[in-house]
């Protein structure tokens, strides 16, 4: 009996590929080519499953060209590269990798917020240019993190982990806005206060974005929202590109309508809005919030777990659309 064939769409840990080969006929991508849509469609021909990253857009066109496809397993917690409705309509299981990156991403989000507040990147560039010749009382004065008001937009697992760091480690006052309010027993240890979005924008000293991307959250922070923030406030985005209107943010930063921003994600990444690259008061990182060896290995293994379970009749640990289970026969 022939084994299912799967595509590993990007380069991943060799150990993960070797594990998948124990179960499947694997076509991998050690050269780490980012496939065009026609290339992806071609590579998926005859494949029952795909191990994907955010680079691969799985939509109705891709699915219709590959009716034999039964599962797509994302090595990411986000899945805006999947048309989940199209997958569900065709009985294709979509999976992701939640939980395993929560604490690592929260670490990075808090670090990026601190670097933004304390002007670390700006001062490092100053030093590297050889411009540091003397001390001055106001040299790169930033804003305090301890005791400040931490605003969180999107209070899921990562948002709550960032809140813990702020409240318990830095004595910050935590306010948040979310689609639904947390239970009282979740709010209490953090002293977290649920507020409407306008209050969040108005009161936060440091606003951190950790909400999922969707059509409804596109440009959730635009010119109008930035205008409601304090001129001394910082904005940190470790969620997804497109949640912030990057062009409007560049204007707000240039005109000092807000003090600074820290961005790990961008609209149209890996392209970055050119105006952001010219500004001193923004810290830019290339979508690396989950980038520790341990966490990336855990993400790869969970994606593999999902793929193996789904194609062997088991229960995948992290289904996005579990209503398609059990999968249709091969």
Tens-digit pLDDT profile for residues 9-31: 999 999 999 999 999 999 999 99
- CA neighbor of 277 nearest in space, from 290, 288, 293, 266: 266
Place of tokens 């199209």: 86
pLDDT tens digits, residue range 77-133? 989 899 999 999 999 999 999 999 999 999 999 999 999 999 999 999 999 999 999
Do residues 276 and 143 share a domain?
A: yes
Do residues 210 and 315 share a domain?
A: no
Establish whether 240 is a catalytic residue: yes
Establish whether 206 is a catalytic residue: no
| Structural domain of 218 | 102-284
Distance in angstroms (rounded) separating the CA atoms of residues 10 and 17: 11
Do residues 117 and 251 share a domain?
A: yes
pLDDT tens digits, residue range 259-313? 999 999 999 999 999 999 999 999 999 999 999 999 999 999 999 999 999 999 9
175 inside domain:
yes
Of 43, 177, 240, 273, the catalytic one is: 240
Do residues 117 and 163 share a domain?
A: yes
Q: In this structure, what is the dihedral angle of CA atoms 159, 164, 167, 173, given to the nearest 10 degrees?
A: 20
208 inside domain:
yes
Report pTM. 0.93
Phi-psi category of 139—alpha, beta or left, where left has phi over 0 and alpha has psi -120 to 50?
Answer: beta
93 inside domain:
yes
Do residues 93 and 114 share a domain?
A: no
Distance in angstroms (rounded) separating the CA atoms of residues 51 and 53: 7
Binned at pLDDT 50, 70 and 90, residue 330 comes out as: confident
Query: Which pLDDT score, from 0 to 100, does residue 1 have?
Result: 61
65 inside domain:
yes
Do residues 36 and 11 share a domain?
A: yes
Do residues 41 and 133 share a domain?
A: no
Whole-number average pLDDT of the chain:
97
Do residues 74 and 117 share a domain?
A: no
Do residues 161 and 249 share a domain?
A: yes
Average pLDDT over residues 150-175: 97
Let me know if 195 is exposed, middle or buried by CB neighbors in 10 A (0-12, 13-18, 19+).
middle
330 inside domain:
no
Of 57, 181, 287, 297, the catalytic one is: 287
Query: Which pLDDT score, from 0 to 100, does residue 2 have?
Result: 84
Number of domain units in the chain: 2
CB 253 within 8 Å of CB 261? yes
Distance in angstroms (rounded) separating the CA atoms of residues 247 and 255: 13
Binned at pLDDT 50, 70 and 90, residue 329 comes out as: confident
139 inside domain:
yes
CATH number, domain at 266? 3.40.50.720
pLDDT tens digits, residue range 178-231? 999 999 999 999 999 999 999 999 999 999 999 999 889 999 999 999 999 999
Establish whether 119 is a catalytic residue: no
81 inside domain:
yes
Do residues 159 and 32 share a domain?
A: no
Of 164, 202, 269, 297, the catalytic one is: 269
Do residues 59 and 125 share a domain?
A: no
Do residues 129 and 25 share a domain?
A: no
């Amino acid at each position: 009996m022939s084994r299912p064939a799967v595509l590993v769409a990007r380069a991943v840990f060799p150990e993960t590929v070797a594990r998948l080969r124990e179960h499947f006929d694997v076509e991998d991508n050690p050269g780490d080519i980012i496939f065009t849509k026609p290339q992806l469609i071609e590579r998926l021909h005859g494949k029952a499953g795909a191990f994907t990253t955010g680079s691969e857009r799985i939509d109705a066109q891709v699915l219709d060209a590959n009716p034999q496809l039964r599962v797509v397993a994302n090595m990411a917690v986000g899945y805006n590269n999947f048309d989940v409705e199209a997958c569900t309509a065709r009985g294709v299981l979509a999976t992701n990798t939640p939980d395993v990156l929560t604490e690592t991403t929260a670490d990075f989000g808090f670090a990026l917020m601190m670097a933004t507040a304390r002007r670390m990147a700006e001062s490092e560039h100053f030093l590297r240019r050889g411009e540091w010749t003397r001390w001055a009382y106001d040299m790169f004065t930033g804003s305090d993190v301890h005791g400040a008001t931490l605003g969180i937009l999107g209070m899921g697992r990562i948002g709550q982990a960032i809140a813990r760091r702020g409240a318990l480690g830095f004595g910050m006052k935590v306010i948040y806005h979310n689609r639904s309010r947390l239970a009282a027993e979740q709010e209490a240890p953090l002293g977290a206060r649920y507020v409407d979005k306008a209050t969040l924008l108005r009161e936060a000293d440091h606003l951190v974005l950790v909400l999922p991307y969707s059509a409804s959250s596109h440009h959730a922070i635009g010119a109008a929202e930035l205008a409601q923030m304090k001129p001394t406030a910082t904005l940190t985005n470790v969620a997804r590109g497109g949640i912030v209107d990057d062009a409007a943010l560049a204007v707000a930063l240039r005109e000092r309508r807000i003090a600074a921003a820290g961005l790990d994600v961008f609209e149209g990444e890996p392209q970055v809005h050119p105006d952001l690259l010219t500004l001193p008061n923004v810290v830019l990182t290339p979508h690396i919030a989950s980038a520790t060896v341990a966490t990336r290995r855990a993400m790869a293994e969970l994606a593999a777990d999902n793929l193996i379970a789904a194609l062997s009749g088991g229960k995948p640990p992290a289904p996005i659309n579990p209503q398609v289970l059990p999968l249709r026969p091969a």
